[in-house]
């Protein structure tokens, strides 16, 4: 994932390995590398399901808000939780499995966008710009459903392979 290392918002994962599982990229984006190795043990795709079921730590929300231009309100919409409830979570709380799944999938889409589009500024603009291929909706608006996640992921694939510009 070449684009991840070029993210302009202090993303310190320059040692990402080409060909590593998607899960490693996602969790490296959400947490400091030492946290991934010592607390999550989610570096293999088979362990990702268990990590999602156990609940992703709230710390990941702060990371997303810091590294992207996604607002707290937009993120709470994706996670199906009110901003008020989101604010009540303590640092050591874990998200529900459903919230963890949507956070994981959002982060997977975002890191894939970094790889395909090149940098965080471009990804942030792309996520918030209405897209004709998505029924003139913003990709970010669709990430609160499984079908919306699939549609945005498919569109990224089309961009990656030059079928859509």
pLDDT in tens, 132-163: 999 999 999 999 999 999 999 999 999 988 87
Confidence band of 7 (pLDDT split at 50, 70, 90): very low
Report residue 131 CA to chain centroid gap. 19
| Residue 165 is assigned to a structural domain of this protein | no
pLDDT of residue 22: 73
Instruction: Supply the pLDDT for residue 9.
Output: 39
Q: Which residue segment(s) compose the domain that 137 sits in?
A: 2-160
**Is 73 part of any domain?**
yes
Output the pLDDT for position 71.
94
SS3 94: strand
- What's residue 163's pLDDT? 79
| Phi, psi dihedrals of residue 57, rounded to the nearest 5° | -60, 145
pLDDT at 10 over 70: no
* Confidence band for 37, pLDDT divided at 50, 70 and 90: low
pLDDT of residue 12: 34
Residue 79 included in any domain = yes
Q: How many domains are there within the chain?
A: 1
SS3 content of the chain, % helix, strand, coil (to 5): 65, 0, 35
- What's the confidence (pLDDT) of residue 14? 39
Over residues 54-74, the mean pLDDT reads 92
Distant-in-sequence, close-in-space partners of 118: CB < 8 Å, separation ≥ 6: 2, 3, 6
């Amino acid at each position: 994932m070449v684009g991840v290392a070029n993210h302009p918002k202090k993303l310190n994962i320059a040692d990402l390995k080409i060909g590593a599982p998607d899960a490693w990229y996602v969790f490296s984006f959400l947490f400091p590398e030492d946290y991934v190795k010592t607390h999550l043990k989610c570096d293999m795709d088979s362990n990702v399901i268990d990590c999602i079921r156990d609940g992703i730590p709230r710390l990941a929300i702060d990371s997303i808000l810091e590294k992207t231009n996604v607002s707290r309100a937009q993120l709470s919409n994706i996670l199906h939780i009110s901003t008020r409830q989101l604010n009540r979570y303590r640092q050591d709380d874990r998200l529900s499995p459903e919230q963890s799944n949507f956070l994981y999938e959002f982060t997977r889409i975002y890191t894939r966008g970094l790889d395909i589009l090149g940098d965080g500024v471009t990804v942030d603009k792309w996520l918030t710009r209405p897209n004709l291929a998505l029924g003139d909706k913003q990709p970010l608006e669709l990430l609160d459903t499984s079908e919306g996640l699939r549609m945005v992921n498919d569109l990224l694939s089309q961009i990656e392979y030059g079928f859509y510009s």
